[in-house]
A and B are shown apart, each in its own frame.
Chain A
Amino acid sequence: MRIYATYNIKGGVGKTTTAVNLAFLAAESGLRTVLWDLDPQGAASFMFRVKPRVKGGGKALIRGKRPLDDAIKGTDFDNLDLIPADFTYRNMDLLLDANSGGGGASDTPGGKPARKLAKLLAPLADEYDAVFLDCPPSVSLVSENVLQAADVILVPLIPTTLSVRTLEQLAGFVAEFNGHRPELLAFFSMVDRRKKLHREITEKLSVERTEVARTVIPALSVIETMSVERAPVVVFAPNTAATRAYRGLWAELRAFGEERLPS
């Protein structure tokens, strides 16, 4: 089982649309896939027409009182399931830290709060080949959990000068991890080719930095209509530049995984 997480400290950069489309493409390629919507806003759940509510409550799920298995919902697509968002996830930091004696993100005698998500996901290994985690924008215990659980962190970047700094900060943070260290794959999202700055930054960084994907996701209105269609863009607009971009990103992600990760 390989765990992919879409993560960025900023909101509105395309994390959810990427998670939804890549999870669909993973399932379409034959991988048994589940997407966990960790964002209390529940955008990914909405796009799959699943109510943002966890049976028995998100609190019991995060605390390990109920198995993750109980919360899984089938989507309309073969091979693709979803663990919906729950409004209690707004307090997920507290839930994750509940048994640790409030010691924060680091490992404490009361437990390992930063590894909780990884522990919750472990039983799914027999049933799924790919897990996608759609994360809320933050720097918190939730994001540290996600980074600890994931094999690959997909980082959508808006092509600005600051985005490079964000990526460097994240790489530095991950480098400090003891033991498990996820691979980082950044990609440019919401790229407007009409803007000179966008063109320059994407071209420069794609060449200069190995952790930046060659594929860019353009800023297209068809991607925005996902929330209207409530489906992956790959499904309702299969012959568009948006679909081609997501397919390219998925192909790059698979190749990236094969090159860098142990099988």
Chain B
Amino acid sequence: MTPGLVGFIACGDDERAWDETVAGVLEALGAAFDVIPDRGGKPAACRRTWLDTFDWRLHRAGLTLEYAGRPRGGELLLAGNAANSASPPSPPSAPGTPSAPNSADAASPADGAAISQPVIGWQAARPHLMCELPDGPVASRIGDLVAPRALLPVVTATSATTTCRLLNEDGKTVARLVVERTSIPGPQPAPLAPRFAITEVRGYPGAARTAGRLVAGAPGVEPATTTTFTEALRAVGRLPGDYSNKVDTDITAALPASKAAATILLRLLDTVEANIGGVLADTDTEFLHDLRVAVRRTRSALKLFGDALIGRARLTEGEVAFFAAEFKWVGDLTTPTRDLDVHLLDFDDTAHSLSAAKPDDLEPFRAYLEQRRRREFRLLSRGLKSARFTELTRAWRDRLTAIRDGNPGTRAAGVRSGRERGAAAETTGTLAMERTRAAFAKTVRRGAAITLESPAETLHDLRKRAKELRYALEFFAPLHDRAAQAKVVGELKRLQDCLGEFQDTEVQVGEIRALATAMLAAGEAPAVTLLAMGEVTAGLALRQREAREDFGRRYAAFAGIDGQRRISALLRGKPGR
């Protein structure tokens, strides 16, 4: 019951030639088989929408999720996306996907057979959070991978699939040919090249091999190395994985520092702008999270190497300070909503971890949080739609683009002409080395000053320095040896996790206290709820104490002699220990 599958695609872009190719394939198969179309040759039509999260979590996990609309309800189909690589299609004898009439893609799923789940009332054109997807095999496979993100429609296509049975001399079906003709709907539908798949009937691998050979030899046919999904994406001008919140630039060590700084900051601005729509539509909480991280990185970048933007025909010191202040405003604008998101995202886990109180005791707290979030979200939304924000992103892009695409001259030219001074005159390699080393030294220094008696603020301050160092490492990652970078980041990340746990629990305790006071004042705080909130804060305080106790060990691992060697090796471009 698990036929193999081999796929082909018609060459070229000429629709008329495609018709001839289909006819040629049928003629080629006729040499060895009786070719009998199912349903009298009437194609089965299907509207298909591929789904993924905004940051392509399914694609990155090697999965493709498709919603296929049916006359009664629809179906979610989860398969591997191995055909996205340029690998040849599976041989007909290999185990592969079931012969679903609408899955004529070339390769078998990365993790075994495709799985499906019927869904009723699914509106493919709108985002869906995982909590909206009923229990089923697809939901259980992707639930943890997708949440808390929403599944978004990525691209929609209509496919007309014709299946032909290939009969042997006994009139027995020994293989099937599936011809899939897909187009992207719109005012001017964009047809994709027809695809052909030979599916094996169990126990007749030889017939499928013969059929595969005949199709491969038909004029105008080539092996399919991409899926229908990737072709559909290409038709709408997109690529799989075309969004990432990573600061992935192509800066080089020889690039003038000002250009590298502008390139990095423009990449961050791309991320900010890419997420605005999702934040305003409140599609899922990760849009705001990504936007905030990009803003925080922007502010850290300005702190780390904002001076590289200063110079003639670039920015003044005052302008850098202005933009830094404006991005602080954006960061502050987003904080209340994000803080409430964090409480709500953790809410169920928190409620079920209570031992004395019951989970339901916290429900008034949830209602209060949701009410507060609605209010804060309105303020956030107003801020992001404001002229101030629009003008900030417009001016910032204009200025950065001018610096990146302008002609600041090389360092040597700058020195000769006397036009370039300070960081702006450096190459990116020098800037990266200096600033990363300085950020490391500052983090080590601040950490060394912390004792058991130090107030919480000192750990908070260290967390900010560690974050700056982490960002410096990320910004200049294209210049570093990947393995050496991974070693530095590994210990740094563990220190950051410890500091993050300490700080976040402290902030959450403070917020819950403030919220409890506000709920009490508003007359919305039953006694059991306040007691439950007390238990939550007690749990947080315990976690904070554990993080504090862990700090010494984490810091020593990061800043000790091995840590110093690792950072030196990274900045020298040699592997560390």
> Is this pair of chains taken from one and the same complex?
yes
Q: Is the C-beta of B405 less than 8 angstroms from some C-beta in chain A?
A: no
Q: Is the C-beta of A135 less than 8 angstroms from some C-beta in chain B?
A: no
Q: Is the C-beta of B318 less than 8 angstroms from some C-beta in chain A?
A: no
> What's the nearest-Cβ distance from chain A to residue B349, in Å?
35
CA distance A230 to B167 in the complex (A): 14
> What's the nearest-Cβ distance from chain B to residue A213, in Å?
29
Q: Can you name the residue of chain B whose Cβ is closest to the Cβ of A231?
A: B171
Q: Is the C-beta of B181 less than 8 angstroms from some C-beta in chain A?
A: no
Contact residues in A for B3 (Cβ distance below 8 Å) = 74
Interface flags for A51-66 (1: CB within 8 Å of B; 0: not) read 1000100000000000
Max chain B CB contacts within 10 Å: which of A49, A51, A55, A72?
A49
CA distance A61 to B525 in the complex (A): 74
Contact residues in B for A55 (Cβ distance below 8 Å) = 203
Q: Is the CB of B173 within 8 A of A76?
A: yes
CA distance A71 to B173 in the complex (A): 17
- Of the candidates A51, A71, A74, A79, the one whose C-beta lies within 8 Å of that of B201 is A74
Q: Is the C-beta of B322 less than 8 angstroms from some C-beta in chain A?
A: no
Q: Is the CB of B1 within 8 A of A81?
A: yes
Q: Is the C-beta of A15 less than 8 angstroms from some C-beta in chain B?
A: no
Chain B at the A interface: SS class = loop
CA distance A50 to B351 in the complex (A): 61
Contact residues in A for B173 (Cβ distance below 8 Å) = 74, 76
> What's the nearest-Cβ distance from chain A to residue B35, in Å?
14
Q: Is the CB of B1 within 8 A of A76?
A: no
Q: Is the CB of B203 within 8 A of A76?
A: no
> What's the nearest-Cβ distance from chain A to residue B531, in Å?
46
Given A32-B1, A74-B1, decide whether A51 and B203 contact each other with a Cβ distance below 8 A. no
Q: Is the C-beta of A198 less than 8 angstroms from some C-beta in chain B?
A: no
Q: Is the CB of A74 within 8 A of B202?
A: yes
Q: Is the C-beta of B165 less than 8 angstroms from some C-beta in chain A?
A: yes
Contact residues in B for A48 (Cβ distance below 8 Å) = 172
> What's the nearest-Cβ distance from chain B to residue A174, in Å?
32
Interface size on A, residues (CB 8 A): 15
Q: Can you name the residue of chain B whose Cβ is closest to the Cβ of A51?
A: B170
> What's the nearest-Cβ distance from chain A to residue B229, in Å?
25
CA distance A127 to B95 in the complex (A): 14
Q: Is the CB of A76 within 8 A of B172?
A: yes
Contact residues in B for A76 (Cβ distance below 8 Å) = 165, 172-173
Q: Is the CB of B204 within 8 A of A74?
A: yes
CA distance A48 to B202 in the complex (A): 14
Contact residues in B for A230 (Cβ distance below 8 Å) = 170-171
- Of the candidates A73, A79, A127, the one whose C-beta lies within 8 Å of that of B204 is A73
> What's the nearest-Cβ distance from chain A to residue B368, in Å?
48
Q: Can you name the residue of chain A whose Cβ is closest to the Cβ of B173?
A: A76
Q: Is the CB of B1 within 8 A of A79?
A: yes
> What's the nearest-Cβ distance from chain B to residue A128, in Å?
8
Q: Can you name the residue of chain B whose Cβ is closest to the Cβ of A55?
A: B203
- Of the candidates A32, A50, A127, the one whose C-beta lies within 8 Å of that of B172 is A50
Interface flags for B498-535 (1: CB within 8 Å of A; 0: not) read 00000000000000000000000000000000000000
CA distance A214 to B201 in the complex (A): 37
CA distance A11 to B201 in the complex (A): 32
CA distance A50 to B202 in the complex (A): 12
> What's the nearest-Cβ distance from chain B to residue A61, in Å?
13
CA distance A71 to B3 in the complex (A): 15
Q: Can you name the residue of chain B whose Cβ is closest to the Cβ of A33?
A: B1
CA distance A71 to B170 in the complex (A): 19
Q: Can you name the residue of chain A whose Cβ is closest to the Cβ of B3?
A: A74
Interface flags for A29-52 (1: CB within 8 Å of B; 0: not) read 000100000000000000011110
Given A72-B202, A81-B202, decide whether A49 and B1 contact each other with a Cβ distance below 8 A. no
Q: Is the CB of B203 within 8 A of A74?
A: yes
Q: Is the CB of A49 within 8 A of B171?
A: yes
Q: Can you name the residue of chain B whose Cβ is closest to the Cβ of A77?
A: B173
CA distance A48 to B3 in the complex (A): 18
Contact residues in B for A32 (Cβ distance below 8 Å) = 1
Q: In chain B, residues 188-222, which have Cβ atoms closer than 8 Å to a Cβ of chain A?
A: 201-204
Contact residues in A for B165 (Cβ distance below 8 Å) = 76
Contact residues in B for A72 (Cβ distance below 8 Å) = 202-203
Q: Can you name the residue of chain B whose Cβ is closest to the Cβ of A34?
A: B1
Interface flags for A145-157 (1: CB within 8 Å of B; 0: not) read 0000000000000
Q: Can you name the residue of chain B whose Cβ is closest to the Cβ of A79?
A: B1
Q: Can you name the residue of chain A whose Cβ is closest to the Cβ of B2?
A: A127
Q: Can you name the residue of chain B whose Cβ is closest to the Cβ of A46?
A: B170
Q: Is the CB of A73 within 8 A of B202?
A: yes
CA distance A112 to B60 in the complex (A): 53
CA distance A191 to B245 in the complex (A): 75
CA distance A48 to B1 in the complex (A): 16
- Of the candidates A50, A71, A127, the one whose C-beta lies within 8 Å of that of B1 is A127
Contact residues in B for A73 (Cβ distance below 8 Å) = 201-204
Contact residues in A for B202 (Cβ distance below 8 Å) = 72-74, 81
CA distance A32 to B204 in the complex (A): 19
Given contacts A55-B203, A73-B203, list 10 more A-B pairs with CB under 8 A.
A48-B172, A50-B172, A71-B203, A72-B202, A73-B201, A73-B202, A74-B3, A74-B201, A230-B170, A230-B171
Q: Top 7 nearest A-B pairs by Cβ distance?
A: A73-B203, A74-B202, A49-B172, A74-B201, A76-B173, A49-B170, A49-B171
Give me 13 A-to-B residue pairs in the complex whose CB atoms sit less than 8 angstroms apart, sorted by A's number: A32-B1, A48-B172, A49-B170, A50-B170, A55-B203, A71-B203, A72-B202, A74-B1, A74-B173, A74-B202, A76-B172, A79-B1, A81-B203
